[in-house]
Amino acid sequence: MSNNNVVNPEVLVRMNEQLDFLSANPGMEMPMTSSLYDEQQEFKRFEGIMNTQEYLTQEEYDFCFAYDKSVREDTTFIGLSEGNTYLNLNVYSEHDHEKRGNDLMEY
């Protein structure tokens, strides 16, 4: 993600509610609600995609873009033959790409 991330206001409200609960109840764990669980699962999926995958499918791009609009700045459309594909610039490395190309030429 880019350095000028825009945080979803609903996520901020939920985080503030959690902080309020934890500061008012030291030593207690935050009760897990289904919506909180769903938010955590979406965040984990988003982070997993944007921090590890070099290529995104159209579905993955749509999911990440819905979660954080700045994904547009961190990806570029390359449209490979498998369908709409996006290159994740957070993970893509020109150095790694060239190294793989050189490794293939050695064989």
Q: In this predicted structure, what is the pLDDT of residue 3?
A: 47
CB of 73 closer than 8 Å to CB of 3: no
Q: In this predicted structure, what is the pLDDT of residue 1?
A: 44
CA–CA dist 75, 78 (Å, integer): 9
45 exposure class (CB count in 10 Å sphere: 0-12, 13-18, 19+): middle
Q: In this predicted structure, what is the pLDDT of residue 2?
A: 46
Structural domain boundaries of the chain?
Answer: 9-106
Mean pLDDT in runs of 10 for the chain (107 residues)? 61 80 75 81 95 93 95 90 84 67 55
The pTM score is: 0.58
